[in-house]
Structure 1
């Protein structure tokens, strides 16, 4: 038994000398080394979050059409004595008409003369109270589809348009 105890003591001495259990002799006396990367870290050539130009330095973004600006002033209504060209339908009911514009009363295409203007209505029967009325014409001034103002014009026909 004394031989077994001597063997255990020898093994313990060998194990203690080799650094403690199971390590290789290459690690004996070695100290830990710091991490050294295999390549340099990424360094961008420019900051991707810095714009090259200031998007707000160009001035007023609404300079060419501010959606909140005041509407253009509505056209002045035709006054008594104003002459119009175009062709109005021979009807007592409202119909869509285009191409009716103010012209000189001496022009060859002057077909109608305004004899009365009735604001804030599209009711053509408002011209029934004027016995000279031969035609009635309604105009609506709209903005974005909403009626802002409206007029009824009582007219007499000129030349071949007279009734």
Structure 2
């Protein structure tokens, strides 16, 4: 009987030789990198580098000079409070008891209105008095719950075309505007 021959396995001595060769290559690369760093930091420059000097920048025309002293502010940026805060994009809403002038349309649907401003209630052009303010709404029917309401007025505050807040004002008429 003959026994089957087993295949020969590779010699384990070849792997350590490849590892040593790889380490040798890495060592040479590291040495080259170190030499380049030392040379670039001034350790091995040529004698020509010592004689070279940078040429000064000469503008082709006179530089711009702003009128007046640019270091003297014309206004105190801190006089009006915090210079980093932006102004409020919307005025305070009208509160109960505020009087308004102008003319509001006699309509229950939204219409564009201009010229309505706050005035003293004793002014001859005081036409309306705010009796209720409903924030975050443009629905004029919100004033139906207040039986004293004679007029409803809606206003939207916008910033760059986007509505940031809105109010409905429930009003009573004053003088000839009373119903």
Indicate if the aligned counterparts of 2:89 and 2:159 stay in contact, CA closer than 8 A. Answer: no
**TM norm structure 2:** 0.53
Deviation at 1:72, TM superposition (A): 3.2
Indicate if the aligned counterparts of 1:112 and 1:158 stay in contact, CA closer than 8 A. Answer: yes
Moved segments of 4+, more than 2 Å: 1-15, 18-53, 60-73
SS in 1 for 2:66: coil
Structure 2 Cα separation of the partners of residues 44 and 51 of structure 1 = 13
1:115-147 CA-partner distances (Å, limit 9, x unpaired): 000000000000000000000000101000000
Structure 1 Cα separation of the partners of residues 27 and 155 of structure 2 = 127
Deviation at 1:74, TM superposition (A): 1.6
Deviation at 1:70, TM superposition (A): 3.7
Structure 2 vs 1, CA of residues 93 and 61 (structure 1 numbering), >3 Å: closer, same or farther?
same
Residue 84 of structure 1 pairs with residue 97 of structure 2: no
Structure 1 Cα separation of the partners of residues 173 and 126 of structure 2 = 9
Structure 2 vs 1, CA of residues 71 and 44 (structure 1 numbering), >3 Å: closer, same or farther?
closer
Deviation at 1:101, TM superposition (A): 0.2
Deviation at 1:14, TM superposition (A): 63
Q: Tell me which moved more, 35-44 or 141-150.
A: 35-44
The structure whose Rg is larger is: 1
Structure 2 vs 1, CA of residues 86 and 46 (structure 1 numbering), >3 Å: closer, same or farther?
closer
Structure 2 Cα separation of the partners of residues 34 and 160 of structure 1 = 82
Q: Tell me which moved more, 145-154 or 19-28.
A: 19-28
Indicate if the aligned counterparts of 2:127 and 2:173 stay in contact, CA closer than 8 A. Answer: yes
Indicate if the aligned counterparts of 1:19 and 1:28 stay in contact, CA closer than 8 A. Answer: no
SS in 2 for 1:132: coil
Structure 2 counterparts to residues 36-115 of structure 1, below 5 A: 70=86, 72-115=88-131
Structure 1 Cα separation of the partners of residues 120 and 29 of structure 2 = 136
Q: Tell me which moved more, 82-91 or 33-42.
A: 33-42
Structure 2 Cα separation of the partners of residues 113 and 120 of structure 1 = 20
Aligned pairs, how many? 155
Deviation at 1:73, TM superposition (A): 3.9
Listed as ranges, the gaps of 5+ residues in structure 1 are 54-59
Listed as ranges, the gaps of 5+ residues in structure 2 are 1-24
